[in-house]
Structure 1
Amino acid sequence: MSKYLAIQQSAYDANMQLPKLGLVLFTFGNVSAADRSLGVFAIKPSGVPYEDLSPDKMVIVDFEGKTVQGDLRPSSDTQTHAVLYKHWANIGGIVHTHSTYATAWAQSQRCIPIFGTTHADHNTVDIPCAPPMNDEMIKGNYEYETGFQIMNELKDKGLSYEDIEMILVGNHAPFTWGKTPEKAVYNSAVLECIAQMALLTEQINPKAPKLKDALIKKHFERKHGPDSYYGQ
């Protein structure tokens, strides 16, 4: 029995959630699942329709982005996943989609403002949008550089990957991550919801104010604070 079966199953299950949640069209997206003890991750093969996927088709890749096991070519975004896993020790799953509303904000090169309590339930800051990478990076190892584009934006904003688990890449699309692939998928769905709500908010009231600090603090801490009381 392959030692990679668990993460292949995990990656498969998470990938199959993307079309169910309306986060992908055709093959526009991927999820990876990491095994830190083995130093590898499983990721969706490139360009394979979701209905044709199976756990054994998930490609095993190390944190340098090299294929360890699998006959199919891994996702074209594999190098981005590898960079993030290599530098962020406490994540176990990464999702990349081109979901409609989050991608629209990315294409607009705008951070998503924190307008309401749905946003504050998950983040205390605007969802950051990394600027488009420079021409030199684009001409180089593009997917590899995308990982650094993401990390540099968080650093510039004074955020850690544990403070916020989602980002927009300017003119491109969203990436999310989490301790597990399931949490990364959850974050991807939440990001899409927040992006849609923010767009509608600005359409209804172009001068809508951001959520005040007291409400941000209350809603975030009731779910995530030391005295949290949301849920069972």
Structure 2
Amino acid sequence: MYKKLKEKCYRANIELPRLGLVIYTFGNVSAIDRKLGVFAIKPSGVDYAKMKPDDMVIVDLEGKVVDGNLRPSTDVNTHLVLYREFPHIGGIVHTHSTYAVAWAQAQRPVPIYGTTHADHLACDIPCSEPVPDERIEEDYEIETGRRIVEHFRANKLNPNEVQMVLAAGHGPFAWGVNEEKALYNARILEELCRIALLTERINPQVQRLKPSLIAKHYNRKHGKNAYYGQKD
């Protein structure tokens, strides 16, 4: 019943090492089937080279494991919250990639300094607030997801347009309409974090990209009259 969903999730997970986004067993990808009301996610602590499609764990939107012999990723409840609250996303990637984690540990959003950033986002890469002490022991993973959702709502960010975030002190999450787009956004997130760090190192007084260039670069790829790429 879940063979196709497990295969999609497996293929996405084994892309993480190839993309340079994980080492050892760090990170995870999930993929959801909205019609079935379940998602597949990487099993916890299993080496990517040793994983098989059938190792993927199927979880419903109440957080119950409905298929699989292994424990799901420890981040499963963060994925769960994001799937519940952002109903249009179809895949989620969480990694501990170097540059994105560095910005998350600094608890800073990533400023929009140039057109490479503006090609993908018309705003800074957001950084959610830290999980409060009283929620860490029992509800840490759920609260991580809640902090992301609350940050988006408080700052009027559209998760269908801003498809990446830094969880303060933790690391990056990215999503998309499917697991392939989520992978793409995770790789872009890491590169934007790297470029921003290098930019600040070269010029600590660097100014944000001017609004006219932000609008131009974002809209030519994502706007109503976008003209980047080829016509279908």
Q: Which position in structure 2 is the counterpart of 1:115?
A: 113
Displaced runs of 4 or more, over 2 A:
none
User: C-alpha distance in 2, partners of 1:160/1:142?
Assistant: 24
Give the SS at the match of 2:217.
Answer: helix
Q: Aligned-pair distance for 1:135?
A: 0.5
Q: Which position in structure 1 is the counterpart of 2:196?
A: 198
Q: Which position in structure 2 is the counterpart of 1:13?
A: 11
Give the SS at the match of 1:72.
Answer: coil
Q: Deviations over 1:99-119 (max 9, x none)?
A: 000000000010000001110
Q: What is the TM-score with the length of structure 2 in the denominator?
A: 0.98
Give the SS at the match of 1:140.
Answer: helix
Counterpart check, 1:158 vs 2:156: yes
Q: Deviations over 1:139-169 (max 9, x none)?
A: 2211111110110111121112113000001
User: C-alpha distance in 2, partners of 1:178/1:163?
Assistant: 9
What 5-or-longer segments of structure 2 have no aligned partner? none
Counterparts of 1:162-173 in structure 2 under 5 Å? 162-173=160-171
Q: Which position in structure 2 is the counterpart of 1:221?
A: 219
User: C-alpha distance in 2, partners of 1:227/1:5?
Assistant: 40
What 5-or-longer segments of structure 1 have no aligned partner? none
AA partner of residue 218 (structure 2)? F
Contact 1:221 1:227 in 2 (8 A): yes
Give the SS at the match of 2:14.
Answer: helix
Contact 1:107 1:172 in 2 (8 A): yes
User: C-alpha distance in 1, partners of 2:119/2:62?
Assistant: 35
User: C-alpha distance in 2, partners of 1:124/1:205?
Assistant: 22
Contact 1:92 1:180 in 2 (8 A): yes
Residue 82 (structure 1) aligned to one of 80, 83, 90: 80
Identity %: 57
Q: Deviations over 1:78-100 (max 9, x none)?
A: 01111111121101000000000
Contact 1:64 1:83 in 2 (8 A): no
Q: What is the TM-score with the length of structure 1 in the denominator?
A: 0.98
Give the SS at the match of 1:133.
Answer: coil
Counterparts of 1:174-213 in structure 2 under 5 Å? 174-213=172-211
Give the SS at the match of 2:31.
Answer: strand
Q: Please provide the CA RMSD for this pair.
A: 0.7
Counterpart check, 1:39 vs 2:37: yes
AA partner of residue 183 (structure 2)? V
Q: Aligned-pair distance for 1:6?
A: 1.4
Count of residue pairs brought into register by the alignment = 230
AA partner of residue 201 (structure 2)? Q
Give the SS at the match of 1:175.
Answer: strand
Q: Aligned-pair distance for 1:37?
A: 0.3
Counterparts of 1:48-63 in structure 2 under 5 Å? 48-63=46-61
AA partner of residue 110 (structure 2)? I
